[in-house]
Structure 1
Amino acid sequence: MSTTLGFDTLAVHAGAEPDPATGARQVPIYQTTAYVFRDADHAAKLFNLQEVGYIYSRLTNPTVSALANRVAALEGGAGAVCCSSGHAAQLMALFPLMQPGCNVVASSRLYGGTIQQFANTIRKFGWSAKFVDTDDLLAVEHAIDENTRAVFCETIANPGGYVTDLDALARIADQAGIPLIVDNTTATPYLCRPIEHGATLVVHSATKYLTGNGTVTGGVVVDSGKFDWSKNDKFPSLSQPEPAYHGLNFHGALGAMAFTFHSIAVGLRDLGMTMNPQGAHYTLMGIETLSLRMQRHVENAMTVAQYLEQDPRVEAVTYAGLKSSPYNHRALSMLPKGAGALFTVSVKGGYDACVKLVDSLKLFSHVANLGDTRSLIIHPASTTHRQLDEAAQIKAGAAPNVVRLSIGIEDVRDIIADLDQALTAATA
């Protein structure tokens, strides 16, 4: 489907046509493991990537493919691959790029689980990460060395709601001959399309706003199709004969779709981090209302942030939509439809007051999630960022006196009333 169509039209129609077998208008859930080949020659062509089709649902599935195509259309990408979670998407994004001894330069303002994954887990593959403040562009440049294979950041940083200068990071990455990978989970393509700001790859936790109702774990990697994987020798899995796929040169053979096909033919085949078709179906249905939900999320978040900014029981609010935010100007240019619905609040009374606040809320749900239709809260220092020391927590925007809010689509008066009574209990 043409990407010249409007966002709302793509959100409903992209990646899906009426089912050719039954005429079903909604994308069916193809709950099947394998697919019958027409004959031996058909099977051989599929396995040789000479023909596009379905072999085994660890690799591809019609329901999951519909979701991948829809998210790719919304992000303005050439292709996409879906996987089992946002964390899986991060590994899938790095997998074709990295070799033992290689590193990724990553923002220090990332979700705590991502910092953990990059700081410790990827070392088991022989990879490493260098964490830098991506507002310090000189530090980013200095961190990149001959073994760096990507720069990684979030559009709107979780948990602090900080807005990243994607255009500046893209220029630095381009000068170094490496891709910029952007986690766009908290912004969604409705608020920002990182590829338009120079990103090579975009990752999502589909668990969050894309699905929007707290029913699915899933991840998506979108490839812009614009990066020249053959312009240097840094990416042999894509630009040289791939021993894991009988010597196929993915970029030479598949061009703009090289990364996507490698992620399916090698990444999903060997890592097995597959999205299930029912989960893909839920996310497809969620995306149909993405723009409507994001409009309410943003509207409510702005009202709540303005209220909290004036509250004497609160020390600070990090919402980039506020004029007082140092990221407001950047948000206005990069996120003209709004600065999202995720931000942090520093509560007077420190760690103990934050714990009391969380325990006193009635409408808010205390969960390790964001992007739900419901308003959610968490105290990162005691949960998502607990594995970090205090200095690292502060650097990540998750100091002990900070709570993270994910503002839902309820009546904003009820959201504020709940925060008001909980702040009273927490700071009494």
Structure 2
Amino acid sequence: MSDYSFDTLQIHAGAEPDPATGARQVPIYQTTAYVFKDAAHAARLFGLQEVGYIYSRLTNPTVSALAARIAALEGGAGAVCCSSGHAAQIMALFPLMGPGLNIVASTRLYGGTITQFSQTIKRFGWSCTFVDFDDPAAIEAAVNEDTRAIFCESISNPAGYLTDLPAVAAVANKVGLPLIVDNTLASPYLCRPIEHGATLVVHSATKYLTGNGTVTGGAVIDSGKFDWSASGKFPSLSEPEPAYHGLAFHKALGPMAFTFHSIAVGLRDLGMTMNPQGAHYTLMGIETLSLRMEKHVANAKAVAEWLEADPRIDFVTYGGLASSPWAKRAARLYPKGSGALFTVAVKGGYDACVKLVNNLKLFSHVANLGDARSLIIHSASTTHSQLTEEQQIKAGAGPNVVRLSIGIENAADLIADLDQALTAATA
């Protein structure tokens, strides 16, 4: 369906009328296992000689429809869905990494990702070097013989920083490494990282893809363009796999090697499976993705401009503002909009931020983003509280800022709520 436009793909990609019933919406296949036609059929499925369904930890028709739709929207060769965005990050790294190996990542990342990369992956024997991705030379300098991937967010959480993806991809190409881009905040409607040189794209489907705060989920999309056999650095994909009678995934499956490995080995052994009901909710959410993102962006721009002009505010980090240091980058790489997440520095610092959060009525105080509802959180005391103050400031989550996720309500109502809360917070 690659010839169709985005608005059509978000409704039709990966979905056909159910062959058993004719149901037009993708059914929820709430089943653990699938009956084989005969013993030979089962053997072919387990030997990866035939594509089909074995067990829902590996594949499920509802989840497969979602994976196909997300791959189509991102322009990828294939995708695998899993239980959360954090799971997607581990799934993306799993075929690439091994004890003693490392990744190079942007300093501008979600606090939970910084913790995952700086602390948790050490238990696997992996490590991470954090670099300012506005400095391509620094990215290249951080790469060594043990580096296996470069990682960034297209639009960063929490400050809404816009990454210059082509510049980062140029470094990744030069050093022969895959570039992994978390595209959660942009969604494929605002940015398609593969078109800018990304090898893999990850999502927290919990956010804009689903769009209604009902389920958690994640996805990894493969461009199908990276040569996993060229350097000898990725033996999981280029060398014979003992569990599949010596099958070499890249040689046998070409552009689909990473996707099949993620299912046949990653989901099989890590078990980070998305449930079919969650996939169903996400499929329904994606049907209105373009409509929602246009409203998110319009509201975010209106609210950010109002806040920037308010004397009770020190600064606003929204990339869609004319005053933003990323304005030219936004016009070049994110022409449909700079997302709907940004931070606001409130005069009065930490205490004023807490009062602002406590006095809002329409905004919801939750640890989430990408909802149809507008959300707020004080990152330094919550999502980024595990970081040092220096790390918080580098991540755009200093003690004097709050993070806003602008929803699709009426913009004037959102501004009025912020106005009354700021009055209380700075009185």
- Which TM-score band (shorter chain)? over 0.9
2:82 aligns with: 83
1:415 aligns with: 414
- Say whether 1:261 aligns with 2:260: yes
- Say whether 1:393 aligns with 2:392: yes
Q: Which amino acid aligns with 1:46?
A: L
Q: 1:422, 1:206 → 2: CA distance?
A: 31
Measured after TM superposition, the shift of residue 24 of structure 1 is 0.2
Q: 2:379, 2:107 → 1: CA distance?
A: 15
More off after superposition, 56-65 vs 242-251: 242-251
Q: Which amino acid aligns with 1:220?
A: A
2:115 aligns with: 116
Superposed counterparts of 1:3-402, under 5 Å: 3-402=2-401
Measured after TM superposition, the shift of residue 150 of structure 1 is 0.5
Measured after TM superposition, the shift of residue 245 of structure 1 is 3.4
Contact 1:101–1:128 (Cα < 8 Å) also in 2: yes
Q: 1:152, 1:42 → 2: CA distance?
A: 40
Q: Secondary structure at the match of 2:86?
A: helix
Measured after TM superposition, the shift of residue 138 of structure 1 is 1.1
Measured after TM superposition, the shift of residue 175 of structure 1 is 1.0
Cα distance 1:353–1:163, how it changes in 2: closer, same or farther (>3 A)?
Answer: same
Q: 1:3, 1:70 → 2: CA distance?
A: 11
Measured after TM superposition, the shift of residue 242 of structure 1 is 1.9
More off after superposition, 67-76 vs 235-244: 235-244
Q: 1:118, 1:382 → 2: CA distance?
A: 20
Measured after TM superposition, the shift of residue 4 of structure 1 is 1.4
Contact 1:156–1:187 (Cα < 8 Å) also in 2: yes
Q: Secondary structure at the match of 1:321?
A: coil
Q: Which amino acid aligns with 1:55?
A: I
Measured after TM superposition, the shift of residue 244 of structure 1 is 4.0
Contact 1:79–1:223 (Cα < 8 Å) also in 2: yes
Measured after TM superposition, the shift of residue 137 of structure 1 is 1.1
Q: 1:384, 1:234 → 2: CA distance?
A: 35
Q: 1:384, 1:135 → 2: CA distance?
A: 24
How far does the alpha carbon of each residue in 1:335-371 deviate from its partner, in whole angstroms, 9 at most, with x for none? 1111000000011011111111111100000000000
Q: Which amino acid aligns with 1:89?
A: A
How far does the alpha carbon of each residue in 1:206-229 deviate from its partner, in whole angstroms, 9 at most, with x for none? 000000000010000000000000
Contact 1:245–1:266 (Cα < 8 Å) also in 2: no
Q: Secondary structure at the match of 1:129?
A: strand
Measured after TM superposition, the shift of residue 69 of structure 1 is 0.1
Q: 2:282, 2:71 → 1: CA distance?
A: 14
Q: 1:4, 1:247 → 2: CA distance?
A: 37
Q: 2:383, 2:69 → 1: CA distance?
A: 30
Q: Which amino acid aligns with 1:330?
A: R
Q: Which amino acid aligns with 1:200?
A: T
Q: 1:174, 1:35 → 2: CA distance?
A: 42
How far does the alpha carbon of each residue in 1:44-88 deviate from its partner, in whole angstroms, 9 at most, with x for none? 100111100000000000000000000000000000000000000
Q: Which amino acid aligns with 1:303?
A: A
Q: Which amino acid aligns with 1:42?
A: H
> Deviation above 4 Å: which 4+ runs of structure 1?
none
Q: Secondary structure at the match of 1:81?
A: strand
> Structure 1 length as normaliser, TM-score?
0.99
Measured after TM superposition, the shift of residue 243 of structure 1 is 2.9
Q: 2:361, 2:6 → 1: CA distance?
A: 35
Q: Secondary structure at the match of 2:227?
A: coil
Q: 1:151, 1:297 → 2: CA distance?
A: 29
Q: 1:244, 1:106 → 2: CA distance?
A: 32
Measured after TM superposition, the shift of residue 203 of structure 1 is 0.3
Q: Which runs of 5+ in 1 are unaligned?
A: none
How far does the alpha carbon of each residue in 1:80-127 deviate from its partner, in whole angstroms, 9 at most, with x for none? 000000000000000000011110100000000000000000010000
Q: 2:293, 2:132 → 1: CA distance?
A: 28
Q: 2:147, 2:100 → 1: CA distance?
A: 9
Q: Which amino acid aligns with 1:79?
A: G
Contact 1:84–1:276 (Cα < 8 Å) also in 2: yes
Contact 1:321–1:339 (Cα < 8 Å) also in 2: yes
Q: 1:363, 1:271 → 2: CA distance?
A: 40
Q: 2:246, 2:101 → 1: CA distance?
A: 22
How high is the sequence identity, in percent, across the aligned residues? Answer: 78
Q: Which runs of 5+ in 2 are unaligned?
A: none
Q: Which amino acid aligns with 1:280?
A: A
Q: 1:375, 1:278 → 2: CA distance?
A: 25
How far does the alpha carbon of each residue in 1:298-349 deviate from its partner, in whole angstroms, 9 at most, with x for none? 0000000000000000000000000110011101111111100000001101
User: What is the RMSD of the two structures over their aligned residues, measured on CA atoms?
Assistant: 0.6
Q: Which amino acid aligns with 2:319?
A: A
> Structure 2 length as normaliser, TM-score?
0.99
